Every structure is written in C-alpha cells, then in structure tokens.
Chain A
Amino acid sequence: EPEVTQTPSHQVTQMGQEVILRCVPISNHLYFYWYRQILGQKVEFLVSFYNNEISEKSEIFDDQFSVERPDGSNFTLKIRSTKLEDSAMYFCASSPRTGREKLFFGSGTQLSVL
C-alpha cells in the first residue's frame, strides 16, 4: 500500500534554531496536513493545505510556522525559531480527493528542542 514518508525520523535542535521537517505525501493525493503529538497528549491539528495554499490553521500554528510544497512532491513544515515547547512528534498526513475521508499518516518526526 502507498505510504506517506517523513524525514528525518528524529531531529534534535537547539532552542532558537530553524528546523525543516519533510514529508512526501502519497502521489495522487490532493490534501495535506500536519499534526503534532506532545508526549502523552492528544494528536493535535496544526494546518491543512490544498492547491498550494493553507486551507486552515490552528492557534498553535503561529508566525514561527510555515508550510510549503516546493516541487509538487515534498511537503515541508518549517519552524523558524524553535522553542522548548515545540518538542513533539510531528505527523504529516494526506488524503486523496476531499479531506472528508480517511487520512493517511506518516510515521512522524520526533523533534527534540534542547
């Protein structure tokens, strides 16, 4: 079965540094998402992306966050200046036609901010 792939699987960074988390959604999918999960907590919605623009974003997704689909294949999440509280597992997801059907999630990138 096709998969959403995410790299790296683990990322360690210093507070204040920029990080870019990378995702390759399933090739014929049109809707793309980022979610995150702080250890021991719920999976939380960050942002949805369709037709090369953000469809919706949560309160978490402030000016330090940005998303991009630079080449029609990759889907990236950038955190400009990381904070300790950004430490979490970040999941990329995609869905084929509309968002109102099942999302396929990647295995996640564990981000640790020191």
Chain B
Amino acid sequence: GESVGLHLPTLSVQEGDNSIINCAYSNSASDYFIWYKQESGKGPQFIIDIRSNMDKRQGQRVTVLLNKTVKHLSLQIAATQPGDSAVYFCAEDSQTGANSKLTFGKGITLSVRP
C-alpha cells in the first residue's frame, strides 16, 4: 500500500551542527512533498516544499533533497539551533485535482543539545 515513513524516531544533535532528517515514500505518483515542523502545543508549521520536477530546493538554513529513483526525501538543517527542537513530518500530496490531500509520515523528534 501507499505510505510515507520516516527512518528514525528521534535525532539528537549538537547545537551548531547540521541535521539531516530522512523520509521514504512509496507512492511513485506523488508529485509534491512538504516538510512540516510541529512544536509542542502547536499545529504543523510549513518549512519547505519541493515538486517532483526538482531535485533540490533551498530555503533559509534548510534544504530539501528529493531522490525519485529511490523515493527518498531529506531535510537538511544547517547550524542547528535550540529553536529547531521539534517534531518533523514529511508529507506527500498525490492529488491531481485542485485540492490537497496530504499523507503524513509518523514524525521524528529533533532534540538539540546545547
């Protein structure tokens, strides 16, 4: 069946180091991918997205890489800060119509050590 999953449940990094969060997806028809961050008591917050016609997209301190050959998505956070501590979700959208229908992965907790 279709699924979007994260490889690791938790990730602990030293402040200032780079973080890499990985995600695998199985629906080859998915053409739009998003990373969300969820802090305690809040809703998912958009970080960055990428469409399937791209391999890489950069934002402020974040980069998303898409490898369609192996159906793999990663989020790289440069110079990780304590404020980056949160649960991170990857999500895919395989809808062909105008409305979205996101399938979320389970979530990985990023913990930043001071």
Contacts and interface: CB of A to CB of B under 8 A. Distances in A.
Nearest to A55: B99
A95 B98 CA distance: 11
Interface in B99-114: 99-107
Say whether chain A's binding surface is mostly helix, strand, loop, or mixed. strand
Interface residues of B, number: 25
A100 B41 contact: no
A48 B49 contact: no
Interface residues of A, number: 27
A104 B100 contact: no
Interface in B58-114: 89, 91, 93, 95, 97-107
Given A43-B89, A99-B95, A91 B101 contact: no
Given A42-B105, A43-B89, A105-B45, A99 B98 contact: yes
A41 to B, nearest CB: 8
Given A48-B101, A100-B95, A43 B41 contact: no
Interface of A: 4, 31, 33, 35, 41-45, 48, 50, 55-56, 91, 93, 95, 98-108
